A and B are shown apart, each in its own frame.
Chain A
Amino acid sequence: MANNFSPDSEPTARTLLRRVLDTADSCTPQRRRSDRISAQRTLLETPSSRRRSIQTKVTARQRSHGARSTGRLAHGQAGGQLEEQTPRTLLKNILLTAPESSIVMPQSVVKPAPAPQVVQPSRRKSSQSSLELQLPELEPPPTLAPVLLGSGRRKQKLRLSVFQKEVEWGPQGLPVSQEPPGNPDASSLTSSLNLTFATPLQPHSVRKPGLARRPPTRRAIDVGALLQDLQNNSLASTPLVDNLRAPVATLPTDIVLEDTQPFSQPLVGHSPNVHYSLPHPYPGPEDAEGTVHHRTQGSIPELQNHKLQPEPADPLEMTEAEGSKRAMEAKNPEESSGDEDISDRPGKRPSVRRSQRTVEPEEPKRSSKDEDISDRLGKRPSVERSRRAVEPEEPERSSEDEDISDRPASSELASNVPEFLQAKQLDQFLEPAPSSGATVLSSEPQEPVLARTHPRPRTAVPRPRQDPHKGGLNHYTKLFSFYAKMPMERKALEMVEKCLDKYLQHLCNDLEVFAAHAGRKTVKPEDLELLMRRQGLVTDQVSLHVLVERHLPLEYRQLIIPCAFSGNSVFPAQ
C-alpha cells in the first residue's frame, strides 16, 4: 500500500471521502466478505456495478471508497481485522492522493516509483484489491470504468482494465514516457484510456478499430474542389485556345490541361477545330513533311489569323490586312511574297469576299488557305510557274475560292495525300501542298474566270450543278498528283479529270450490263468484283480482299470484308 501520502490537495474531497467511508462501511461489509469469499472477481464486479451507476465524482468516490474499503477489507480479512483500520487509513490516504493526482496518474502515490510491476505481481492478491482500489481510483475517469464494464464481458474487461491499469500504473508510476515492457498493446490501451477520457467508445474502438471512422466530409470537399478545378481548367482552356495569337503560350497550357490525352496535339487541334483555326502545334507535323517548312509556318499563322479574324466578324479587308501584317511579322521572305500577293489583290478580293460571304464562315479560311497553297507552290521545283501562278492565278484563286467554298463535300474529301495529317481542315490545306494547289488551279481555268466576273447570284446558281461534280473529281485529281509523285501541269490535271469522267461512265455502263446479266436491277458487290476481274485488277493471285486491304481505310474494310465477332456473329452478314 502506498505509504507516500501527499499532502491533501482537496480538503473537501477528504471530508467527503471520510463521510463516504463511514457510510459505506456500514453497507458493504457483508458484500465484501461474500465477494472476497467467492472470488476477487466478484469483488471487482461489485465495485464495477457500483461504478456503472456512478456519474458523479462523489458517488464514484464513495463507491471507490467502498471498493477500496472492500479491498481493504479483503486485505484486512486476509491479514486480519486489524488491517481494517489500517486500510481505512490507507484508503483515506489513497483517496486523498487520488484527487490530487490526475486521473491519468492515480498511482503516483499509490505505488512506489521503483519497480511498479514488481510490486504489481507481488501485489496480485493485494494488487487485485489494490487494483480494485485503484480501479475506483481510476473511476474519476468515470467514462472509462463504466464503459469498460458496460460490455458484457465484465470479467474480462475488468481484468483487461485491471491489466490496463497495471500497465498504466507502470508508466504512470514511472515517468510517463516509459512504457511497461511486454505490453505495448496495453500501453497503447492505457494511453488510449488515458487519452480518451472524454470518449467512452475508445476502448471499443481500440479493440475494434474499424468502428471508429472519420466522417467522410472530406471527400465531398475534395470532389467539390475537383469540380471547381475542372471548371477552372475548362474555363481557362477556352480562353487559352482563343488566344491563338500567342500560340507558344497556349501550347504548354493546352498540353498541361489536356494531360490525360495521349496526344495533346490532335486534341488541341480537334477540340477547337470547329470554331477556331488550327493551333500552333500543327505546324509540327507539317514541318515533319520537310518540304513545307517556311511556308507552313508562315501559312499557318496566316491561316490562324485569317480564321481568327472572321470569328470576331471583322471586315474581310481588315482580316486580310491583318493577315498580311501578321504574315509580315512572321518574317519570312517567302511570305512577304505571299503578302504581296495578298495585298495585291484588293481588287480581286470582291470575288473572294463574295464567295466568303455567300459561303459558310469556314470557307473564307479556305480562301486564305488557297493563298497558302499557292504560296506553298512556290516551294516546288516549278517555282517560277507557281510564282506566275500566284499572281495570274488571282482570278483563278477567286474562282478557286468559290469552288472550294462550293464544295462542302470535297472539303471533307480532301483528306487524301498526307496520311499523317489528321485534322480535316489541315488536310484540306496541306494535302494540296504537294501539288494539289496546282491541280486546283488548273482544274478550273475557264469557270473561275467566268465565275469571278459574275455577281453573287450568278455564282450561286451554277454551283449545285457542276461544282459538286468537279469537287468529287478534284478529289481524285489530288490523288493522281499524289500517286504521280511528280510535279504536274494544270492542263495535265484537267486531262486527268476528263479521263476520270470518261472512265466512270464506262464503269456505270459495265455495271449495268453485269447487273442485267445477273437478272438484277441492283448493282451488287459481286458485279463490282467481276468488273475488277475483267479489268485485270483482281486475279487468282490477288483477290478483291487483298486490294481492299491495301487501298481502303479500316472503316471501309470492315464494311466489305466479313469478319467474325464474338457471339458467333459475322459482319457484314453474308
Chain B
Amino acid sequence: MMEKTQEEQQSSPQMAAPDGGWGWVVVGSLFMSSALVFGLIRSLGVFFVEFVQYFGESAQAVSWIASIGLAMQQLMSPIGAAASNVYGTRPVVMMGGFLSGLGFILASQATSLVHLYLTMGLISGLGWALVFTPTVASVMQYFTVRRSLAMGLGFTGVGLASFAFSPLFQYLVEVYAWRGALLVLGGLSFNMIACGALIRPLGKPKVVLKTENLTKLNKCSSLLSRIFESFELSLLSHRGFLTYAVAITFFNAGYFIPYIHLVAHSRHIGFTEYQAAFVISVTGVVDIMGRVASGWFSDLGKIRMPHMLVVWTGLLGLSLMIIPVAVVYSGLIVISVVYGFCAGAMTPLAFAVVPEIVGIGRVLGALGLLQLIESVGGLLGAPLSGWLKDCTGTYTLSFIAAGSFLVLGMLVTMTLPYFWSCTAPPPPSPSKRMSQDGSIEDGLLKQTLSSNSVPESLCPLDDTPYSDKELKVCWKSDVTCPVQERDEIPQEMMHHTNSGEIL
C-alpha cells in the first residue's frame, strides 16, 4: 500500500500541468516547430517553380511533392503518437527533426522528380509527423487552464513563418539555386531537434507507466497489447471520438479549399495579381489574430469549448459560401477578413476540444488517430473542388461546397456526447480502479464517477493519469466537481491546424 501511495505521490506532481513556467518554453517550441513544418510547406511554392523548369515536368507532377509530404505527415501521425507513448515525446521529436532535415539534405542531390518524392515527400513527411503531434500533445499536457491560449500562441508560428519564409526562400534560391537552398533548409529543419530538446517530460511515457503497473499483475505486456495501448486503438470504440473524427474529416475537406482557390478566384473575377496577393496577406494576418483571440477568449470559460467551435465553424462555413457573392473589391476584402478570422479562431479550438472528449491521458493517441482519419477529408476535398471548377468554369461551386462541408462538420459536432449540457462533461475515466485509488478519492469523486457515462478504455489500469486529473480538478476550488471540470476540459485538436496549415 505504501509503495502504491508513494508511486502515486511521485507521479502526481509530474502529471500536474504547470500551467506556466516551463510550459511557455514548450509553447515556444511549438511555435518553432509549427513554423518549420507548416510554414515551410506553405512556402515551398518558390521551389516548385524551379523544379518545373529544371526537371521539365508539369506543375501538377511537381505539386505531388507537397501532397506526399502532407499525406505522410498525417498518415504517420499515429506512429508519432505511439512512439511518444512508448519512448516519451523528447526523443521522438528530436528524431523527427533529424529526419525532416535529412529529407531536405538528400533532396538537394536529387536527379529526378522521383527522388524528390522519396526524400522531400516520404522522409521529411515522416519527420514532420514525428515532430508535430507529440509537440502539440506536450503543450496540452503542460497547460490546463490556459490551454487554448497556449495552443493559439503556438500556432501563430505558422502564419508568421509563411510571411517570413517566402521572401527568405526566394532569396536562397536566387543565391544558391534550389540545390543549395534545399541544403540550407535541411539545416534549418534541424532546429526542430533543439525544439524537441526543450520538451521536458512531465512524467514517464504512458506505456512505460502501464507496464510498470502491470508487472505486479498479469503480464499484459505482450507485444500486441503494447501496440494496442501505444496507438490508443481503444479510442476506435469511443463514441465521442468517432463523432469528432467524422466532424474533423468534414472540416478538413472544406477548410483549405479557399486557400488554394482564393487567389485564382480573385484573378478570375478580374482583380490584378497584387490585389489578389493582398487579399491573401490580409487573410493571413487576420488568421493569426483569430488564433490568439480565440484561444484567449475560450480560456475565459464563458462559453463551453464545443459551443465555441460550433460558432466559429458555422461562421466560417457561411462566410465561405458568401465569398462568390463578393464582386466588389472592398466586399471581397471584408469577407476574406471574416473568413480569415474564423479560420484562425477555429484552429486552436479544434485541437483543444480533444482532451475534453477523450481525456488528457489519451490525447496523444487521439491526436495521432485523428490526423490519420482526417487526411481522408483532405485528400477528397482538393480534387473535388478542382473538379467542380473544371466542370462549371467558376469557383462559385467550389466555395459553396467548402462552406457546406464545414456546416456539415458543424452539425456532426453538435451530436457529440454532452454537447447539449451547459456544463462540461466529467473527464472520461474507466470504472475499474485500483483499490488504493478508490479508497483515497471515493468521497471526492463520487459525483464524477456516477455521472460518467463515457465508455471506458478496453485495457484496464490506465487509471493513474485520470485519477490524478480528477483529484486535481476537485481540489481546485473546493466546490463541487462539475463546476470545476468546465475549466479543465477544453482542449484543442491539432488536426485542424494541420489540415489548415497544409495550405
Q: Do A and B bind each other?
A: no
